[in-house]
């Protein structure tokens, strides 16, 4: 039996493995599912087992999971392709007889009515139908969704969006990784859904003001219409379909769908979530 992390070379997967090791899990008890073993050489160097597989190639997933494994299933990163990818993963995990399948879904679960949530909700249904013991880790927005894109904000002196005064209870990736590690190594989480969010919700106007405060520059929030926002994202180089999905998320934010602070994340990790200020400050130092 191993603790298996899919997408192990991704931002979240790497953090989960680091958290597992920090919490005392032996490297030999951890397996990382990766598409490219060379990109995971550092993990192998630490003693983590590598299992090479690709969500887009179901035949490669046969050896990704073993009976009794406790699996963190990190969702695919390409909207529009997730259903066949996720079906392949759930099928392989079911056939292997894993002991637990923890899935990184979307905050709100069935109540999330925006386009980005559709494939996550469908995946939860696949997992329920599989009969496997599961945990749904319904992650809110990562703060890094914003801080990883500070360059254009600083260049133009503006945060662009179409969320109005809506609030976002984001958390740092490391917070969500810590929650996943707790679930993978603990007991009593089977067949539960956790609504994971930061302790404090904030608006894009507050985010712009914070960036301005920390940089000593004038940073404003420009609230656009949905069409204007989509066009701006396309102009920045995003594919039209993905731009539309992101603009739709801002509409969900404006309706309060990402503002909830139920406290599940803090209770799981046993500490407050990382404040927005701390994540912004760290990003500005990079």
- What integer pLDDT is reported at residue 80 of this predicted model? 84
Residue 60, classified by CB atoms within 10 Å of its CB into exposed (0-12), middle (13-18) or buried (19+), is middle
Structural domain harbouring 52? 3-138
User: What is the CATH classification number for the domain harbouring 99?
Assistant: 3.40.50.720
The mean pLDDT of the chain is 97
- Say if 190 falls within a structural domain: no
Same domain, 73 and 144: no
- Computed from CA positions of residues 210, 211, 212, 215, in that sequence, does the dihedral angle turn out positive or negative? positive
Q: Total structural domains in the chain?
A: 2
Tell me the average pLDDT across 121-149: 97
Same domain, 152 and 60: no
- Say if 200 falls within a structural domain: yes
User: What is the CATH classification number for the domain harbouring 276?
Assistant: 3.90.25.10
- What integer pLDDT is reported at residue 76 of this predicted model? 92
- Say if 60 falls within a structural domain: yes
Same domain, 131 and 109: yes
In angstroms, the CA 98 to CA 33 distance is 14
Q: Look at residue 22 and tell me whether its pLDDT is greater than 90.
A: yes
- What integer pLDDT is reported at residue 150 of this predicted model? 97
- What integer pLDDT is reported at residue 177 of this predicted model? 98
- What integer pLDDT is reported at residue 79 of this predicted model? 84
- Say if 187 falls within a structural domain: no
- What integer pLDDT is reported at residue 3 of this predicted model? 98
pLDDT in tens, 81-96: 899 999 999 999 999 9
pLDDT in tens, 165-191: 999 999 999 999 999 999 999 999 999
- What integer pLDDT is reported at residue 83 of this predicted model? 96
- Say if 188 falls within a structural domain: no
Q: Look at residue 250 and tell me whether its pLDDT is greater than 90.
A: yes
Selection from 90, 140, 104, 124 nearest residue 12 by Cα: 104
Same domain, 16 and 151: no
pLDDT in tens, 186-214: 999 999 999 999 999 999 999 999 999 99
Same domain, 124 and 159: no
For residue 38 the two structure tokens come to 């060379």
- Say if 186 falls within a structural domain: no
Phi, psi of 138 (to 5 degrees): -85, 90
- Say if 182 falls within a structural domain: no
- Say if 77 falls within a structural domain: yes
- What integer pLDDT is reported at residue 63 of this predicted model? 94
**Beta carbons of 273 and 172 less than 8 angstroms apart:** yes
């Amino acid at each position: 039996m191993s603790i298996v992390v899919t997408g192990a070379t991704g931002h979240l997967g790497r953090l989960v493995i680091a958290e597992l090791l920090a919490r005392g899990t032996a490297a030999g008890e951890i397996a990382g599912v990766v598409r490219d073993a060379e990109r995971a050489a550092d993990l192998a160097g630490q003693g983590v087992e590598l299992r090479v597989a690709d969500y887009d190639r179901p035949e490669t997933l046969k050896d990704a999971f073993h009976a009794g494994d406790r699996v963190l299933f990190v969702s695919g990163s390409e909207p529009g392709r997730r259903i066949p990818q996720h079906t392949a993963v759930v099928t392989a995990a079911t056939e292997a007889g894993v002991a637990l399948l923890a899935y990184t879904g979307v905050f709100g679960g069935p109540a999330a009515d925006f386009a980005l949530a559709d494939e996550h909700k469908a995946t939860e249904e696949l997992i329920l139908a599989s009969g496997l013991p599961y945990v749904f880790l319904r992650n809110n927005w990562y703060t890094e969704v914003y801080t990883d894109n500070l360059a254009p904000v600083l260049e133009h002196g503006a945060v662009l969006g179409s969320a109005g005064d809506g609030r976002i209870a984001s958390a740092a990736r490391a917070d969500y990784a810590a929650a996943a590690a707790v679930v993978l190594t603990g007991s009593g989480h089977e067949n539960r859904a956790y609504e994971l969010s930061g302790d404090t919700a904030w608006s894009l106007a507050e985010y712009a003001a914070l960036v301005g405060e920390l940089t000593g520059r004038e940073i404003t929030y420009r609230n656009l219409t949905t069409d204007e926002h989509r066009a701006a994202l396309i102009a920045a180089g995003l594919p039209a379909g993905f731009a539309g999905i992101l603009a739709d998320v801002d509409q969900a934010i404006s309706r309060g769908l990402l503002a909830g602070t139920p406290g599940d994340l803090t209770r799981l990790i046993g500490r407050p979530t990382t404040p927005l200020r701390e994540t912004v400050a760290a990003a500005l130092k990079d």
